[in-house]
Amino acid sequence: MFCIQCEQTMQAPGGKGCSFTQGMCGKSAQTSDQQDLLVATLQGLSAWALKARALNIVDADVDAFVPRTFFATLTNVNFDTQRIIGYTREAVSLREALAASCRAVDPSATVTLAQAAIEPAADLAGLAAQAEAWALDRDVFDVSEEVHGLRLLGLYGLKGAAAYMEHARVLGRVDTDIAKGFHEKMVALADPSDDIETLLALSLDIGQLNFRIMAMLDDGETAMFGHPVPTQVNVNPVAGKAILISGHDLKDLRALLEQTEGTGINVYTNGEMLPAHGYPELKRFKHLAGNYGSAWQNQQREFAAFPGPIIMTSNCLIDPNVGRYADRIYTRSIVGWPGVKHLEGEDFSAVIAQAQAMPGFAETAEAHEITVGFGRQTLLSAADAVIDLVASKQLRHVFLVGGCDGSRQERSYYADFARQVPQDCAVMTLACGKYRFNKHDFGTIGGLPRLLDVGQCNDAYSAVMLAVTLADKLGCGVNDLPLTLVLSWFEQKAIVILLTLLSLGVRDIYTGPTAPAFLNDTLMGVLADRFGMRSIGTVEQDMAAMLSA
Amino acid sequence: MRAIRRETPDVWTLDLDPAGGHYDYLPGQYALVGVDQDRHVRAYTLSSTPGVTPGLSLTVRRIENGIGSTWLTARVQPGDRLRLSAAQGRFTPEHAPGDAYLLLAAGCGITPVMSMTRWLLTHRPGTPVTVLYHARREQDVIFADEWRALQQRHPCQLTLHRLIREHGREHTQLSATLLSGLVPDIAARTVMSCGPETYMAAASALARQLGVPEARIHSETFLPKNVPAVETAPADAPRHQIVLEPWGDRAETARGGNLLAALEAQGIPMIAACRSGDCGSCKVKVLSGDYRMGAQSALSAQELADGWVLACCCSVEGDLVVSQG
C-alpha cells in the first residue's frame, strides 16, 4: 500500500504516506492497492479514447466513465474493494470494445501505453500481485523527490477535476473538448515526464482545464436549480420524521424532496449540502427543514444522534460502524462502504420506508438561523456596492476563508482567524471549512453582510468571477484587490482548486493547515517563489501581513 | 518469502524478496509484519544490512504460543507473501553517531547488532566496534559462523566477546568490572544495548557510571512499544473488562494486554494505520481505569490531559471504560 493524497496522511519518523495495512482514512491496504490498479486501467482506457478520437470515434460512455470512476478513488469516497474491482473490470470491457471499434476503421490501430495492456486476474490474490506494479511510489528510486512529488500533484489535481466533471455530467453538462483534454492529462500522467518545468506546467494546465469544468458545473447548477439567493437556514431540528442527506449532489436532493413531498418527513442537509437552501428550485420545498450537523469529520457523532436514515451522495464518508448507523445509511453513485446499502438510481423508497419506521425528532428546538446563498449572480450584482464601500473606506479588506475542514487541531486557526477579522473587513467562505465559524453573528457593513457564504467548494468559481469582475471595473489586476485567500485543504478537490487559482495567476494564497505531504520543502519553495504561496503561521502575524500588503 | 533457514534450536531467518525490487531501511531498524493473513501485527528486526547483504531478511525467535513467531517459523512457505511496514526505529548509527562503538546484545537482541556491525565494518573502516554478546548456551549463539568470518576479515576493527552463561556466570555477568576490563576506553564509545528491559537498564546504568555521556547511550527494547507485554498471559493472570461507551460493548484481556488487540478481537471498528505510536489514528479516550502507555508523541498535551491514549501502545492494567469520541 502507498497513498499520500490527503491532508491527514501519515507523517511519521519512518516516512510520509500511508503504507502498511490501513490508511489514516480507514481504507484497507487491499482497497488502496485495487484503487492503484483501477487508476492504471483508466489511464489505459484514456489512451484508447485518444486513439479513437484520431479515427473520429468519440465514445460518450467512455468519456463519462473515466472521470466518474477516477472520482471513486478520491479520499473518503469508496472503501469497498469489490466495487473497485468491478470498476476495473468494467474499464477493461469498455477498453476492449473501443479497441475493436478502432480496429474496424484501422486494423493496425494500437496503443503502446503499458497500462492499456492490463488484463485483470480472475482472483483477489492475482489482482493484489498485479496492483503492486502500479503502486504510486514505484518511481521513488528512479527520480528525484521533486519529480515524484510533482507527478503526484498532477495526478491528485486531475482526480479533483474528475470529481467536478462527474458532478457537471449529473447535471447534464458535458463537453467533448474538455473530455479530450481530460484524457490527454490522464495519459500524460500515465507515462510522466521527469522534467520539473514540464510537470509544473502540466499541473497548471490541469488547473486551467478545471476552471472550464467548474464553469460548466456552475452553469449546470444554475440552469437546473436557478441562481442562489441569500436565504435563512435553520440549523436546529424541528419535530417529526427525518431524512438526512450529505455530500454534493443537488440533483439527488431534488429527487428526494419530490419523493418525500406530502409524506410528513422532513429533509435535512448536512455538510456540503447546506448551500442547497439558496437555490430557488430546492428551497421551494417546505419540508426542506434545515441543516443538521457540521463538517465531515464530525459525522460519526452527528449521524449516530440523527433519528432517521442518511444518504451519502459523494465525499466525505468515514466508517459508519463507529457510530453504529451502518444499517441506516445509504451510499449513492461512486460512494461505497462494505456492507452498507447502495442505491444505483434515484429511487429513495427504501430510505423513506426506513424514515417512517424511525422515531424522528421528538421536539422542535428553538430555531437558530444562518444565512447562505451568496452565489455568483448575487455576488456580481453586488460588485458595484462593494466598490462603493471600499471607496468610502467602510470596507477595508475581504478575506476568503474556506476550503475543506478536518480534525487536525491546528484547524482552530480558521475559527480564530474569522472571528479576529476587523469590523471593517468582510469574510467570504465556502466548502465545509465554514462550519468553524458560520454560526457566529458577523453583522453587516453598510448593509453588506460581513459573512458571505458563497456555497460548496466548487463555488470557488463564483468567488473567482467576483474577483475578476471587481478587478475589471477597477482597472487593476486580481492581485491588486484588497482580497486575501486563506484556503484550508483536505482532499483532491481542494488541490485542483488551488491549481486553478495558481493557473489564473492568483498570488499570495495562504494554505493550510499543513503542506501536502507529497510536496517537499523544495517544491513548496518553488510555489512560494513563483506564486507567493505560503503556509499559515499565527493568526496575529498573518492578519497583520495580509492587511499591510 | 524466498527461503527460511534455521539458525539455532529456536531461531529462524526468513530470506525475503521485496516486491518492486527495493525496500528502504537503515541497519538496526525493524519492520511491522502482518502475520496470520494480516490478522495480527508484530515487529521484527531486519537482520540483513542495507547495501551489504544481498537480500532482505528477518530473524525470528519462536516464542512458545507466540502468534507471530509461530506463524512465521512454522506456517509460512517459500513463495508466500508477507506484508511489511516501512522500516522503523532509531536504533541505528545514523541516530546514534560516534567515533567508536560498544554494542551489547542479549539473546535475540543480537539481530540489530549484527546488522549494524556489518554496516560499520563496511562503511566506517576506521571506527572500532566492540560487541558484547550475551547468550545462555553455546547452541543459542546466532550467526556463529558469520561472527568468526567477520573477526577474521576485520581483526583490528572488530572485537567480539561471546559471554555464554553456561560457561559460568562469574565471567559473563554485566558489571562495572567486566565492562571496564573488556572495554577500557568505554567513556569514549557510543554505547548501544539491545535485549530484555533489565539487561538494557543495567547496561545503560553501568555506562553512565563509567563516564559515558547520556547523549551517547542508546537502547531499544527488542519488544517494540506496541507489542503486548506478554504474548500470552499465564493462566492465573487477572483478567480485565473494557467497556466501550456509549454502546456498552465489552472486550476483555489479561492484565498487561494490549488495548488495541483487545478491541480488535471484539470486532470494534478501529483505524490503526501505523500500529507503533506515530500516527494517532487509533486514539481512544479512557473515561476511567488504569493503564500504562508506551508512546504518546502522536497526542497533544490537551489530548493527554483529556485522557486520550494510543490504543496500539496502551497496556490494560485494570477494568477500563473508553470511548472513541
Q: Do B118 and B165 have their domain in common? A: yes
Q: How far apart are CA B280 and CA B282, in angstroms?
A: 6
Would you state the pLDDT for residue B196?
82
Nearest to A542, CA basis, from A507, A502, A506, A510: A510
pLDDT digits (tens, 9 = 90+) for B289-298: 999 988 777 8
Among B30, B49, B84, the domain boundary falls at: B84
Nearest to A428, CA basis, from A416, A442, A411: A442
Q: How far apart are CA A237 and CA A365, in angstroms?
A: 6
pLDDT digits (tens, 9 = 90+) for A301-314: 999 999 999 999 99
Grid cell for residue A330 = 445509504
User: Does residue B96 lie within any of the structural domains?
Assistant: no
The CATH number of the domain where B294 resides is what? 3.10.20.30
Q: Does A12 touch chain B (CB under 8 A)?
A: yes
User: CB pairs below 8 Å between A and B: how many?
Assistant: 74
- Shortest distance, CA A6 to any CA of chain B (angstroms): 14
Q: Evaluate if residue B5 carries a pLDDT over 80.
A: yes
Check CB contact under 8 Å for A20 and B273.
yes
User: Does residue B27 lie within any of the structural domains?
Assistant: yes
Tell me which chain A residue has its CA closest to the CA of residue B282.
Answer: A24
Check CB contact under 8 Å for A12 and B19.
no
pLDDT digits (tens, 9 = 90+) for A416-454: 999 999 999 999 999 999 999 999 999 999 989 999 999
User: Does residue B228 lie within any of the structural domains?
Assistant: no
Q: Do B116 and B203 have their domain in common? A: yes
Check CB contact under 8 Å for A23 and B83.
no
Tell me which chain B residue has its CA closest to the CA of residue A322.
Answer: B269
Q: Do B75 and B17 have their domain in common? A: yes
Q: How far apart are CA A255 and CA A250, in angstroms?
A: 9
Check CB contact under 8 Å for B273 and A319.
no
Chosen from A6, A16, A19, A22 to mutate, greatest number of chain B CBs within 10 A: A22
Q: Do B106 and B78 have their domain in common? A: no
Q: Does A141 touch chain B (CB under 8 A)?
A: yes
Q: Which domain holds residue B22?
A: 3-84
Q: How far apart are the first and last CA of chain B?
A: 40
User: Residues A47-64: what's their mean pLDDT?
Assistant: 98
User: Residues A185-196: what's their mean pLDDT?
Assistant: 98
Among B26, B54, B84, the domain boundary falls at: B84
Q: Do B316 and B268 have their domain in common? A: yes
Q: Evaluate if residue B81 carries a pLDDT over 90.
A: no
pLDDT digits (tens, 9 = 90+) for A325-373: 999 999 999 999 999 999 999 999 999 999 999 999 999 999 999 999 9
pLDDT class of B234 with cuts at 50, 70, 90: low
Q: How far apart are CA B216 and CA B208, in angstroms?
A: 9
Chosen from A1, A2, A8, A21 to mutate, greatest number of chain B CBs within 10 A: A21
Check CB contact under 8 Å for A14 and B88.
yes
Would you state the pLDDT for residue B235?
65
User: Residues B70-76: what's their mean pLDDT?
Assistant: 90
Tell which A residues from 284 to 323 touch B, by Cβ distance under 8 Å: 300-301, 319, 321-322
Would you state the pLDDT for residue B228?
46
Q: Does A142 touch chain B (CB under 8 A)?
A: no
pLDDT digits (tens, 9 = 90+) for A517-535: 999 999 999 999 999 999 9
Q: Do B123 and B215 have their domain in common? A: yes
Q: Does B272 touch chain A (CB under 8 A)?
A: yes
pLDDT digits (tens, 9 = 90+) for B249-262: 999 999 988 899 89
User: Does residue B231 lie within any of the structural domains?
Assistant: no
User: Residues A278-292: what's their mean pLDDT?
Assistant: 98
- Shortest distance, CA B278 to any CA of chain A (angstroms): 6
Do B237 and B325 touch, CB atoms closer than 8 A? no
Q: Do B151 and B214 have their domain in common? A: yes
Do A228 and A373 touch, CB atoms closer than 8 A? yes
pLDDT class of B224 with cuts at 50, 70, 90: very low
Q: Evaluate if residue A412 carries a pLDDT over 90.
A: yes
Calculate the CA A79 to chain-centre distance. 17
The CATH number of the domain where B79 resides is what? 2.40.30.10
Would you state the pLDDT for residue B221?
59
Q: Does A324 touch chain B (CB under 8 A)?
A: yes
Which of B278, B279, B300 is the closest to A409 by Cβ?
B300
Q: Do B124 and B200 have their domain in common? A: yes
Would you state the pLDDT for residue A469?
95
Tell me how far CA of residue A23 lies from CA of A16, A18, A19, B150, in angstroms: 12, 5, 7, 42
- Shortest distance, CA A384 to any CA of chain B (angstroms): 47
Would you state the pLDDT for residue B231?
45
Do A169 and A213 touch, CB atoms closer than 8 A? no
Would you state the pLDDT for residue A14?
65
Instruction: Supply the ipTM of this predicted assembly.
Output: 0.87
Check CB contact under 8 Å for B278 and A10.
yes
Q: Evaluate if residue A20 carries a pLDDT over 90.
A: no
Would you state the pLDDT for residue B233?
55
Q: How far apart are CA B238 and CA B255, in angstroms?
A: 6
Number of domains in chain B: 3
User: Does residue B230 lie within any of the structural domains?
Assistant: no
Percent of chain A scoring above 70 in pLDDT: 100
User: Does residue B316 lie within any of the structural domains?
Assistant: yes
